[in-house]
Structure 1
Amino acid sequence: MLIVVSLCLLQVSYAQSSWEPSDAKLAVRIEGIEGQLLQNARAYIGIKALEGQTVPSIFRVRYLARKGEQELLTAIEPYGFYNAQVKSEVIEGDDTWTVLYTVEVGPVTTYGDVNIELTGSAQYDAAFQKLLEERLPYRGQPFNHQDYESLKSGLRNLAAERGYYDAQFSTHSIKVERDKQIANMTLVFESGERYLFGETSFCCSFLNESLLERFIHHQRGEPFNTRALLDLQVDLAGSEYFSTVEVSPRWDQATTNQVPIDVTLSPNKRDRYQVGLGYGTDTGARITMGFDRRWVNDRGHRLSSVIRLSEVQNTGYVSYIIPGNDPARDSYSFNGEITDRSFEAQRSKLYRASFKDIRHYDRWHRTYQLAYQREDFSFGDEPTTSSNFLIPSVEWSLIESSSLPANRNIIDDGYRISIMLQGAHENVLADTNFASVKLSAKWVHRLSDEWRVLMRSEVGALQTDDFDALGSTLRFFAGGDHSVRGYAYQQLGPTNDEGVVVGGRFMTANSIEVDYAFKSNWRVALFTDIGNSMMDWNDRLKQSVGFGIRWVSPIGPVRLDLAMAMDEPSNPWRLHLTLGPDL
């Protein structure tokens, strides 16, 4: 008897040593499917959690492998494969044990009968008809459970967005006939009546009620739409009057099919102080100090002031801002500015007072301005000249863009087009007659996930009776970070007898650039710029070439460029550092 027991113990010990290897690792391989189907299957099977670990007992591996067969069948059914077959095999190796699944998906299940019924007001709503045209499956289309659930979610979300508060599915079913490989769908969506906007009330505001009501773009009695409430919240938050904004429809207080809207506001800090340090190759080292009073009175008037000091230019600016009819987008402002600039023998001291009327129309922006300015300027050793002008001007801009989903600071596709007209007449507080026009355009286009092309162009023209009477701020210059790289700031243009650039009557600056994303927030770029400032359109243009690196920071792209002036090969490469959006 003792011999028999000993032999049994030796057999068990041998079996354990062969079934429980101490060094082999477990691997899982699935053949017969790929893409999204494979990705979902690998995430669904339980044995996948042991991959890369030391193999447990052979009993455990075989149990999990057999269990994985059913898990794989369940994982691929939502994609329409209800007649699949799965076989598993455990392949034992010295270093690796592999659980191999072989999947035969079989024929895909397609839609058979597709029945959907809308009841209530939604059946007459064009938004629901559009949704069904885009998403409703047709007979013979491969059945996908995710698409079916997406259709149901789309109907629910659209109902919530458009005020069908009582909407619900009275019937929603998918019946799969495995032998026929068809899925019959039945949906009955009872929307009920669409709710209307009720009264909008504001709580805890320190501002005049009439100002707050101008933020509202919906009217009492109009059909409910959450987009209008979202726009209201964004506009109020963007006004900087408030630290928190909460816009809530009160469904529990709805009467006669109207839902009241409550807006709860918390005041922001009234005063804001700012101090910033920076550097730009056009301006050199700089410091910015600002003070804003977010509201001066209960009508929402604001005061904004800033002082910018740099190696090239010092500026003091103050603005008194009055909200317009649409206070989130329109405004009037009274502005004062003093700027003292000295760079490369160009000297200018500007005093300007102006009034602006700013309007936004969807993608269009319009600015009217009336400014009176005095400028004391000189070039080189020339004596200082003073000029005085009352200048009306108008600027229109059209902007449209989309950002990369993964990073809102990178423009995916978009453009910006602007035109500015200004002038003066000697009979109305001006030293001479002049008129000028400036056109500018930028375009960004994504070629692929990594490549983009960026183009910009700027053209200006000036007509005047006495060019010498115009201060430097009214003339055209070229060169610098945002103009023609490879040349110094405002150092392209006609010169006087001393060789000092004095500006021109015409200007153009153009660029084409290609950049490549080698990491999520890093890009490299190649570019060429061409342009000049001229007294005559026939003057020669200057060109540069260069390369750069881009860091997409949380506050926008930071660009570091090296550019060489092709027309001045003896000059070294010039460094350009800029910060700001692509458009």
Structure 2
Amino acid sequence: MKNQPIECTDLPATRPGTTRLRLRGPAQPGWRIPGARTAALLTLLAAATLLQGCGALRGLAGNGSAAEDGEDAEQAAAVQASEAPLSFTVEVRSANSGIASHLEKHMDIQRYTRFPDLRATEFNRLLADADTNARDLLAALGYFNPELTLRVEDAPADSAAPRRIVIEVEPGEQTTVAGHRIGFAEPMNSDPSAARQRQRVERGWSLKDDTPFTQSEWSSAKSAGLRVLQRDRYPTARIADSQATVDADANRATLRVDYDAGPPYRFGTVELQGVKRYDPEGIKNIARIPTGSDYSEEALLDAQQRLASSGYFDAAFLMLDTENSDPDNATVIAQLREAKYQKLVFGVGISTDAGLRLSVDHTHNKMWPLGWRAVNQIALDANTQALSTKWTAMPHASGWAWYTGASIERAEYGDYKANSLSLVGGRTKSVGHIDRSYYLQYDMSKTEGSDAPGSSSSLLANYAWTGRYFNNKTNPTSGYGLGAEVGAGFTLTPQREPFARARLRALRFWPLGQRNEMGRRSRLALRGEAGAIIAKDDVEVPVTLLFLTGGDTTVRGYSYESIGTRSQGGKLYGGRYMTVGSIEWQRPITLFGNATDWEHATFVDVGTVSDETSDVTLYTGVGTGIRWNSPVGPMQADVAYGIKKQQVRLHLRMGFNF
């Protein structure tokens, strides 16, 4: 008799977060059901058994002490079983090594390999269950017509177990997608403004026609479409119905999913919870929820990040009230835990360039007399001793905030020691992916030494813009960033002359190849930076505004800021023109066939600093390194060879910053 199609339907759940699976197919007496029909029938029986088990567990849950006693007994039995000798081992043989590895890892029978005093009847029952379990696992991978052979063999003399279960698997042809249909409920289905979002769901559907069908890919495809809806306009979207109909004879699957997006939501008023110390209106201006705009998960997370990083709060959590709000004016609830007025932080660090580093940071969130937030810092290392302060006001409704700051520093600039003073004041704004600021800056520096250039000062009007378009803020794998700083002004001493200064930077991640088991793939990281000072040849610009490069984040293989120009005495000094470029191949590391959080990198860095565009000396560094994708960002260790100086250097860095 010909196999009948199997319909797998995800039915509406009895409670949120659960689904039910229904298998359809005629069952007639006297059938000798091969392959796929056996899997379907046994799956149905297993589901019934599991439902009975769930009922029993609910009964136990009614008696708290009985449930706790049962858990203790299970834990004790698990410990005893883990210490018992092996009763048998399991070996899966298949021409497809991936399938063999998958079955060996996930088959239920592996839990009983150390079961003590295993009787013959129990062992035979395990063999029967193993056949069913293997077929279920293969069906989840899209193989509905496998050929399985189970047998028991005496284990080799050097084996720790007396016997071995051998499972030979011929998976057969993998089921592929014959067709799929994606439906949307009203009002979204006929809403012209939702057309682009519907198209994103359809374009992003991963189970295209003629691609292999697996249960995990089927679940992932449905969930990915749902996330597209929930991220923008439709936070209450859900899967109304879905069905995968599998024709086991033809090894083809027809898919259908229907989404109920619910009503579109718009941002309404912001409700602050936990604000006592600080100005509520100022806090709302920091969050900058776009009231009246369509709901966006990204906009909500950006607002939450701004509040969390503002320094006014120890914790910040934002959510949209979808239960008690009008969708056209949905309340945003901000649950906040305020930070204290003052905080003192002591820091100790070490770097390959400057050695031991000590710092003291003092923060006052409402400094007298302006009530602005002040961040004061003392930083000391072998090359630099600095004292700085920065005061920032609460932002206005437009998002712009006034700020001012000052710093006094004694540091090495090339082969010279220099004392410097910097004063700055202006306005800044951070919205979404873009940071902007315009400010007036005074710089004064004085170099020390017999052939030192001397002292100079300047006044610059500057504008800075940074755009970050990465897929992840702490550990990006794709996207790009752009930054620009431009300024124009005058030198004040030793002569008054006009000059201009500009600095540009860019970073691009370029994904390559296919994704691995953890969803990552190799990529190219392209980085570039350029700077220029436009002035007459005899104009003395403060040394703090000149360019030096080299080190962990610029040209690896060279020490920090060791690439520059040379003074008349042959000493290293900052230059007026700077260019840096880098290309890096980043590749995820797979260990014993399993994806890890580690990556390997190979790179080439090139940089130059000069006073004349016609007189350029290139400094090249090549090397390799490893990366660990930690929760707070990448930690990297690189070994680089500086070709110009013929030296090897170790470079350590933590976190991502652009």
Q: Which TM-score applies when normalising by structure 1?
A: 0.76
Q: Is the 8 A contact 1:389 1:430 kept in 2?
A: no
Amino acid at match of 2:317: E
Q: Secondary structure at the match of 2:572?
A: coil
Q: Name the CA shift for 1:416/1:93 in 2 (closer, same or farther; >3 Å).
A: closer
Query: What does residue 368 of structure 1 align with?
Result: 438
Query: What does residue 12 of structure 1 align with?
Result: none
Does structure 1 residue 557 correspond to structure 2 residue 635?
yes
Query: What does residue 11 of structure 1 align with?
Result: none
Q: Is the 8 A contact 1:409 1:557 kept in 2?
A: no
Does structure 1 residue 66 correspond to structure 2 residue 141?
no
Which of 451, 456, 464 is equivalent to 2:535? 464
Q: Is the 8 A contact 2:233 2:294 kept in 1?
A: yes
Matches within 5 A, 1:393-412: 393-402=462-471, 411-412=476-477
Amino acid at match of 1:78: A
Which of 296, 299, 309 is equivalent to 1:238? 309
Q: Secondary structure at the match of 2:134?
A: helix
Query: What does residue 26 of structure 1 align with?
Result: 88
Q: Name the CA shift for 1:55/1:188 in 2 (closer, same or farther; >3 Å).
A: same
Q: Name the CA shift for 1:417/1:42 in 2 (closer, same or farther; >3 Å).
A: same
Does structure 1 residue 87 correspond to structure 2 residue 136?
no
Q: Is the 8 A contact 1:66 1:88 kept in 2?
A: no
Structure number having the greater strand percentage? 1
Deviation at 1:51, TM superposition (A): 4.4
Query: What does residue 497 of structure 2 align with?
Result: 432
Q: Is the 8 A contact 2:85 2:114 kept in 1?
A: no
Which of 526, 534, 540 is equivalent to 2:610? 534
Deviation at 1:67, TM superposition (A): 2.5
Q: Is the 8 A contact 1:90 1:97 kept in 2?
A: yes
Matches within 5 A, 1:53-132: 56-95=118-157, 97-105=163-171, 117-124=183-190, 125-126=194-195, 127-132=197-202
Q: Secondary structure at the match of 1:470?
A: coil
Q: Is the 8 A contact 1:304 1:319 kept in 2?
A: yes
CA distance in structure 1 between the partners assigned to 2:634 and 2:208 by the alignment: 46
CA distance in structure 2 between the partners assigned to 1:211 and 1:168 by the alignment: 36
CA distance in structure 2 between the partners assigned to 1:340 and 1:488 by the alignment: 16
Does structure 1 residue 581 correspond to structure 2 residue 633?
no
Q: Secondary structure at the match of 2:291?
A: coil
Q: Secondary structure at the match of 1:275?
A: strand
Does structure 1 residue 421 correspond to structure 2 residue 486?
yes
Does structure 1 residue 347 correspond to structure 2 residue 347?
no
Q: Is the 8 A contact 2:314 2:337 kept in 1?
A: yes
Matches within 5 A, 1:516-527: none
Structure 1 gaps, min length 5: 1-21
Q: Deviations over 1:265-303 (max 9, x none)?
A: 221122121222233454343321111123449998311
Q: Name the CA shift for 1:160/1:273 in 2 (closer, same or farther; >3 Å).
A: same
Matches within 5 A, 1:148-167: 148-150=218-220, 152-154=222-224
CA distance in structure 2 between the partners assigned to 1:256 and 1:396 by the alignment: 35
CA distance in structure 2 between the partners assigned to 1:158 and 1:577 by the alignment: 38
Which of 392, 410, 416 is equivalent to 2:461? 392
Query: What does residue 402 of structure 2 align with?
Result: 332
Q: Name the CA shift for 1:40/1:388 in 2 (closer, same or farther; >3 Å).
A: closer
CA distance in structure 2 between the partners assigned to 1:515 and 1:256 by the alignment: 44
Query: What does residue 289 of structure 2 align with?
Result: 217
Amino acid at match of 1:467: D
Q: Percent identity over the alignment?
A: 18
Query: What does residue 319 of structure 1 align with?
Result: 390
Q: Deviations over 1:534-563 (max 9, x none)?
A: 333333515354646556475653546564
Query: What does residue 494 of structure 1 align with?
Result: 566
CA distance in structure 1 between the partners assigned to 2:325 and 2:617 by the alignment: 68
CA distance in structure 2 between the partners assigned to 1:209 and 1:159 by the alignment: 32
Q: Is the 8 A contact 2:237 2:262 kept in 1?
A: yes
Deviation at 1:492, TM superposition (A): 3.5
Deviation at 1:366, TM superposition (A): 3.4
Structure exhibiting the larger radius of gyration computed from Cα positions: 1
Structure 2 gaps, min length 5: 1-83, 514-519
Q: Secondary structure at the match of 1:131?
A: helix
Q: Name the CA shift for 1:158/1:527 in 2 (closer, same or farther; >3 Å).
A: closer
Amino acid at match of 2:167: Y
Amino acid at match of 1:28: V
Amino acid at match of 1:421: V
Query: What does residue 358 of structure 1 align with?
Result: 428
Amino acid at match of 2:189: Q
Q: Is the 8 A contact 1:410 1:582 kept in 2?
A: no
Q: Secondary structure at the match of 1:279?
A: strand
Q: Name the CA shift for 1:301/1:171 in 2 (closer, same or farther; >3 Å).
A: same
Deviation at 1:373, TM superposition (A): 2.5
Query: What does residue 41 of structure 2 align with?
Result: none
Does structure 1 residue 48 correspond to structure 2 residue 110?
yes
Superposed CA RMSD: 4.5
Deviation at 1:455, TM superposition (A): 5.2
Q: Name the CA shift for 1:559/1:243 in 2 (closer, same or farther; >3 Å).
A: same
Q: Which TM-score applies when normalising by structure 2?
A: 0.69
The total of aligned residue pairs comes to 551
Q: Name the CA shift for 1:579/1:156 in 2 (closer, same or farther; >3 Å).
A: closer
CA distance in structure 1 between the partners assigned to 2:113 and 2:612 by the alignment: 74
